[in-house]
Structure formats: C-alpha cells, structure tokens
Amino acid sequence: QKEVEQNSGPLSVPEGAIASLNCTYSDRGSQSFFWYRQYSGKSPELIMSIYSNGDKEDGRFTAQLNKASQYVSLLIRDSQPSDSATYLCAVNIRGRRALTFGSGTRLQVQP
C-alpha cells in the first residue's frame, strides 16, 4: 500500500459542477494534511491545510478529513475551466521531516 494514495484520473466534470478529489493515507498517526494545485509545467501551489476531523471551507474549496477512515478529500464547488490542474494530496507522516505526496489527480473541467 502506498503511503499516500490518489486516483490519477483524469476526473472530468462539467463547468459549474462539484469536483470531488479523494486521498487515502496509511499512517494512522498523521496529523497534518494539505492540498496543492499544480498547473501543467508549474510548481505546486498550496490551496488548503486541515488538521482536525470534519470540514474546512475556504471560498469554493472545502477540505474534509476523516482520521478514523484515513482519508482526506477536497471539494471544489462551481468548478471553472481554470480549475483544470493536477491536485496533490500531502500528509505529514510521523517521523518524517518533510511532507509525503500522493501522485496527484488530474482534474479537467469541461466548458
């Protein structure tokens, strides 16, 4: 099992729909979780962080964390073509100095 696992996609949604991106992790003791957006040819950009179970909202983005089930998700409401990118899930695995990243999910928002 990968330490941080994401479906590679592509996930295709129509403009205006809700995009749901999922991530599972293996270390039950992980405490910090992050979502990054990476446009093609560009570096990852931090979108959100979440540390507690439940939902955290920031504009059109909502991060959801369920530590018991070891998954974290990102919802993008009112998806726009400009949201088309690869979304990376990152987890702070216990004992590691740096974040561990999933391989990313490619999102395509169709106009």
Partner 1 sequence: SQTIHQWPATLVQPVGSPLSLECTVEGTSNPNLYWYRQAAGRGLQLLFYSVGIGQISSEVPQNLSASRPQDRQFILSSKKLLLSDSGFYLCAWSGVSNTDTQYFGPGTRLTVL
Residues that bind partner 1 (CB under 8 A): 32, 34, 36, 41-46, 49, 88, 90, 92, 97-99, 101-104
Residue with smaller CB distance to partner 1, 47 or 79: 47
Our separate counts of H helices and E strands in the chain read: 0, 11
Q: Are 103 and 90 in contact (CB under 8 A)?
A: no
Q: Which is nearer to partner 1, 17 or 26 (CB)?
A: 26
Helix (H, G, I), strand (E, B) or coil at 33: strand
CB-wise, 49 or 70, nearer to partner 1?
49
Report in angstroms how near the CB of residue 30 gets to partner 1 at its nearest.
Answer: 10
CA-to-CA distance for 28 and 82, rounded, in angstroms?
34
